[in-house]
Chain A
Amino acid sequence: MTTAVKPVSFLHDKLTGAWGKNAVIGVPLTFLLIFFLLPFLVVFKISVSEMDNVVFKDLFVWADGVLQLRLKLGNYLFIALDDLYFQTYLSSLRFAAVTTLVCLVIAYPFAYFMARSPADKRPALLMLVMLPFWTSFLLRVYAWKMLLADSGVFNNVAMAMGLLSEPVKMMNTPFSLVLGMVYTYVPFMILPLYANLVKMDLSLLEAALDLGATPWQAFWRITVPLSKSGIIAGSMLVFIPCVGEFVIPELLGGPQTLMIGRVLWDEFFSNNDWPMAATVAVVMVLLIIVPLALFNKYQAESTAGGRA
């Protein structure tokens, strides 16, 4: 497909340097600069600002011919030295990593089987994976509350069948949190893996089998390495949002499931401490910046037109 590699069409030629090109790029770019980039700068500024009642003091002060830059690093010091914050960041990363791993274990075989199923059945399967995504995420997370509660559906059914004599505590535990996050994010792992596996050149596997590889060897040495970009994309799509997840820990988590998204929310809504909430957010961005760069690199490659 040479056309896909070089989609330089008339639009490029005609609009180069013209107002059309400037408008096509300029309108979304301006929107993003104002509503995405500028807010981050504001957050950073507020995280190092001193509060004077409800007003943030200016960072730069000009007085008597001296320009002063006043940065309040107290919040950062507090986060660095406070054990609870450290534990919470660590625990968020751990829960996100566990969720990503479980999603991968569930989604890889699923995407593989889906990609190898008859071509006429694939659109229907894809539709079935996407359909829950179209129905409310909030309501689906809430549904797990009904299933897992002490007097919930699972416990009630198991007790009615005589399998349990007393309810098992599942809600508000690390188990319910990870279950809820896996449930919510597993389609984000399935879709890029499927997109990758369905494009795979099957003659490579045939060649490997002809050369004496067992199916298992062929899978680990050909299929898995070739699907690396799908694995990375899916993992980042799960891991990054999970680190800062708020709704799922709030509805399904408990006192032992420390998550930084909840801390940020509480600093903002309960304590009204905006500089502290801003600091928590800046540190969270620093934690996810490497995965984020990885994700952006993958996105840029997969949409660059040069599909391998």
Chain B
Amino acid sequence: MKLSTGQMTSRVWMTLVFVFLYLPIVTLIVLSFNASPMVTSWGGWSLRWYAALAKDAEIIAGFKLSLQIAFLTACASVILGTLAAIALNRFKRFPGRTLFAGMVNSPLVMPEVIIGLSLLLMLVSVQRAFGFPDRGLLTIWFGHTLLGMAYATVVVQSRLQEMSPQFEEAAQDLGCRPWQVFFLVTLPLISQAIGSAWLLTFTLSLDDVVLSAFLSGPGSTTMPITIFSRARLGLSPSVNTVATLTVAVVSVGVVLASVWLSRAERRRAQEMSAAFRGAGG
């Protein structure tokens, strides 16, 4: 089969863009197995930097802290984001809706230095007045949740938007109370979106440098802060190994999660169509 000019252009353009997107990632992975301490000159295959990473106390401590913060952030973001999405999707009129929508969406694009600085100055003022909170895990969590909530809202909101209201109406007609409808009908229907939002905000938090740098205190150095300070000084083999491990965990995690979520989704779709057939026949 011969391709038309249009199809050729399409293939070439898409391939080039994908090469552009993936070239740095492939480079990171390949060079993490480089035996040479000069990161970019090839000295044969080796696992020496992985062995060095296992003894790197700074990275390991940072990683543990980052995991804790990411877990807390994902949970808080998903709860707040789901509430905000429902508020924006179901209540078309309430005082302050425009301000509310603006405050939810702005962190998506607002430069992080602005969010980080303003949040820090506010928290310092509060700390000076009340002696609480000290900079550390808690303050980083606040900042990451502000950002994560914005992403979670977008994800959940788009699901709510395409959802048919008839299931909730049916549950209501059958005598469910509002909270029952929410927990028994709405929540299961948007659970896939909530799952994706949780994963997305988890990885966002695990990756964040700027907010963490502003909001961290002595003794609360997250892994990205450590990596960033090493990357600023120059090329470092330890960064490549961390990158490769991250890519491995993330790709496996994302693939597994999406397979699992789409399977759950398909099962529910089948159950629903079966229910409709039963009702119709």
Contact = CB atoms under 8 A, between A and B. Distances in A.
B169 interface: yes
Interface string A233-247: 000110011011111
A46 interface: yes
Contacts of B80: 27-28, 31
Interface string A121-140: 00001011101101111111
A132 B10 contact: no
A304 to B, nearest CB: 8
A110 B157 contact: no
B168 A10 contact: yes
Contacts, number: 270
Interface stretch (B51-59, B82-90, B130-138, B271-279): B82-90
Interface residues of B, number: 101
A32 B105 CA distance: 11
A183 B28 contact: no
A136 B207 contact: yes
B245 to A, nearest CB: 10
Interface residues of A, number: 95
Given A25-B91, A146-B40, A281-B117, A140 B24 contact: yes
B246 to A, nearest CB: 5
A7 B83 contact: no
B142 A138 contact: no
A244 to B, nearest CB: 2
Contacts of A109: 9, 13
B161 A250 contact: no
Contacts of A35: 119, 122, 142-143, 145-146
Contact of A243 (B105, B111, B122, B125): B111
A42 B128 CA distance: 13
A36 B106 contact: yes
A5 to B, nearest CB: 11
Nearest to A275: B121
B121 A42 contact: yes
A82 B23 CA distance: 42
Given A39-B119, A247-B228, 15 more contacts: A24-B86, A113-B10, A134-B250, A135-B247, A138-B228, A139-B239, A143-B28, A146-B39, A147-B23, A156-B40, A186-B20, A244-B110, A244-B114, A264-B114, A300-B98
Interface of B: 9-10, 13-14, 17-18, 20-25, 27-28, 31, 38-41, 80-81, 83-84, 86-92, 94, 96, 98, 100-115, 117-119, 121-122, 125, 142-143, 145-146, 149, 157-158, 160-162, 164-166, 168-169, 171-172, 178-179, 181-182, 186, 199-200, 203, 206-207, 209-210, 213-214, 224, 227-228, 231-232, 235, 239, 242-243, 246-247, 250-251, 254, 258
